[in-house]
Amino acid sequence: MSCLTGGAKISINQLLSNEFKDFRQYSLLYLFRSYLNMIDKFEKITPEQIVDLMIFTNRDIKSFTFLVPVNKDEIFGFEGKGKRYRFNLDELRNVPKHPVIVHLRTISSNETHIWDFLSKMVFVVDQPSEPELEKLIVEDMGKVFHMPQIFYSDLYKNVFEWFLILENCTAPYLTKEYIIERLKNVKDMMNLFYEEKITFVTSDLLSLANLNIN
């Protein structure tokens, strides 16, 4: 997954650039080479195991006929902000010497690898910035939790810590169960806090009631 920030729309020149120093985050040539390295050098990774290869960015992308939108995107569509595109494989096959195919063949002549790569590529664009995303998540959490900012802050900390986990060259998956467990831990902590606070206040009131004022 590549994360980009801000700037102009992604252009065809950037998609087909071989200037990896400046445009590698969204150069198809760089991404294709990375894909080949991944399936060639890691014994436990096969093309069948890879579902999507994502370019994730809050930049938008220019309109291309060889990209088709994924409609009603419930995962990457945030309150009307965010779009996802996949390659139109039929167009790429039917256009003789399509620039995308021609450029990818300079990296590898293996047609199976080329078409597997293109079928997995996803452009997740025009995504919310980090502050925008935080605001949307906190608002959504507010429908379920009291003091949603506390839940968000704790979840952000846990996700960040998960991102840094690497043991024996492997990392655990970020699962729905992991997220639910972290949210439940915060909820239990908040419930315990309020129970102790109520007990403390009640105890004080009872102590005051027992005072004899002459």
* Whether residue 59 sits in one domain with residue 35: yes
Is the overall model pTM greater than 0.85, yes or no?
Answer: no
* Whether residue 111 sits in one domain with residue 49: yes
Sheet of 121-125: strand order equals 2-4, 53-57, 121-125, 83-87, 67-69
What is residue 24's predicted lDDT score, i.e. its pLDDT?
Answer: 73
What is residue 73's predicted lDDT score, i.e. its pLDDT?
Answer: 60
In a domain, residue 153? The reply is: yes
Mean pLDDT by 10 residues, the chain (214 residues): 60 85 79 89 78 85 90 62 88 93 94 95 86 84 82 83 78 80 80 59 46 47
How many distinct structural domains can be found in the chain? 2
Q: Which domain does 160 fall in, by range? A: 130-209
Closest CA to 89 of 61, 110, 120: 120
Last residue of a domain, one of 95, 125, 155: 125
